[in-house]
Chains A and B, each alone.
Chain A
């Protein structure tokens, strides 16, 4: 079983829609979590960190449930430019930080 699991999608949504991605992790040693965004044939880039209390950045809301080992990302009012792969990432610390990536969820926003 992979340490970080995501639904690969693709999620095909119209502009303006609200879409939610889920992620589960199995390594209880994971201390922090992130969502990274990866455009086609580009490198991954940090989208936002995920805090236990939940956090929001504009149209993006991230939630973490440590008891259920579950992470979510909600995108409101989807834009065409949101089309990308969203990678759920856990951080394991053992003297240094190591990021463990999920396989990613692909989002396609259409007009």
Chain B
């Protein structure tokens, strides 16, 4: 257990529906990342939070995607009007300690299937 928890673990939805994923990172850590992974690919960076501030957002995140971290603790990733191409594993990660060594602990991910 890395200490990073994600919910739900699996989500099946129909095209056009909205979905929201939640991430609870390692407690008291101010840095949180979202990545997306599709079959046969490595994780791709989506966005980064330092406390409640979203400091970077990848061009992969279209305007249908929004991420928040309102109190600098848990984070949510919402996808509006889902498309089949959104089917992927959405991974949340945070560093294991306060020192920035570059290591990230990932949650088990939220797997999205858009029908």
Give A contacts to B, CB under 8 Å: 4, 8, 32, 34, 42-46, 49, 87, 89, 91, 95-104
Contact = CB atoms under 8 A, between A and B. Distances in A.
Given A96-B50, A98-B48, A102-B42, A46 B103 contact: yes
A93 to B, nearest CB: 8
14 contacts: A43-B2, A44-B43, A49-B102, A49-B103, A96-B50, A96-B56, A97-B100, A98-B45, A99-B45, A99-B104, A100-B45, A101-B35, A103-B42, A104-B42
B108 A43 contact: yes
A34 B42 contact: no
Contact of B108 (A32, A34, A42, A104): A42
Interface string B49-63: 010000110000000
Dominant secondary structure at the B interface: loop
Interface residues of B, number: 24
Contacts of A102: 42
Contact of B40 (A8, A46, A100): A8
Contacts of B35: 101
A30 B74 CA distance: 29
Given A87-B42, A101-B43, A102-B42, A96 B55 contact: yes
A95 B55 CA distance: 10
Contact of A34 (B33, B41, B102): B102
**Per DSSP, are chain A's interface residues mostly helix, strand or loop, or mixed?**
strand
B25 interface: no
Contacts of B109: 43
B91 interface: yes
A99 B45 CA distance: 8
A89 B43 CA distance: 10
Contacts of A42: 108
A46 B103 CA distance: 7
Contacts of A104: 40-42
